[in-house]
A and B are shown apart, each in its own frame.
Chain A
Amino acid sequence: DTGVSQNPRHKITKRGQNVTFRCDPISEHNRLYWYRQTLGQGPEFLTYFQNEAQLEKSRLLSDRFSAERPKGSFSTLEIQRTEQGDSAMYLCASSPGGSAYGYTFGSGTRLTVV
């Protein structure tokens, strides 16, 4: 078990370009979460999956943001037509089912939009 893996670690993109981030959760975990974190703030919840089903997406910041988890394993987060305000750390976490369990976070993908 190597923990939650996120790729890439850093991404620099030009405004208007599309970007995609990948998250590989711990294999036994059926829940996967995406968060965004800006400087000086706590992580902000975006969306989560239980297996391949996206059960909460109302917190995605705009319709430019979308996430998938096609086979209930890895997940991708895509941002279309990036804006400078999208610059942030994007964090992925996974957990077993049930409220008694904590989350395991990845190290995040740092996005810089120039």
Chain B
Amino acid sequence: DAKTTQPNSMESNEEEPVHLPCNHSTISGTDYIHWYRQLPSQGPEYVIHGLTSNVNNRMASLAIAEDRKSSTLILHRATLRDAAVYYCILRDGNQFYFGTGTSLTVIP
């Protein structure tokens, strides 16, 4: 059901930018691209979402490829609190289908 492909894990140094990639080659024209993150023993937390244009909010930026077949979540300055599993999800009808996400490790 998951329509996205992400690397299993990534590492980043603290206070450096992090670019988390996601491939979604079968995206339809009306699918929104959503990103969530999950800390241990907590529910997923909304990060950002977009349709076609790049999006910015206080947590992150979302860069969407022109053909929409891939996107990148950008954390501008990674902190230790950003260590989490990051999920890239396409809205499929009325529910989200999660993959296994990218586990981000932030190195002090």
Q: Which residues of A contact B (CB under 8 A)?
A: 4, 31, 33, 35, 40-45, 48, 50, 55-56, 91, 93, 99-100, 102-108, 110
Q: Which residues of B contact A (CB under 8 A)?
A: 1-2, 30-32, 34, 36, 41-46, 49, 51, 85, 87, 91, 94-101
Given known A-B contacts A42-B101, A99-B32, A107 and B43 have beta carbons under 8 A apart: yes
Contact of B95 with A45 in the complex, beta carbons under 8 Å: yes
Contact of A105 with B44 in the complex, beta carbons under 8 Å: yes
Contact of A102 with B97 in the complex, beta carbons under 8 Å: no
Given known A-B contacts A48-B94, A55-B94, A99-B32, A93 and B100 have beta carbons under 8 A apart: no
What is the bound-complex CA distance between A106 and B70, given in angstroms? 29
What is the bound-complex CA distance between A103 and B34, given in angstroms? 10
- Residues on A with beta carbons closer than 8 Å to the beta carbon of B44: 43, 91, 93, 103, 105
Closest chain A CB from B28 CB (angstroms): 11
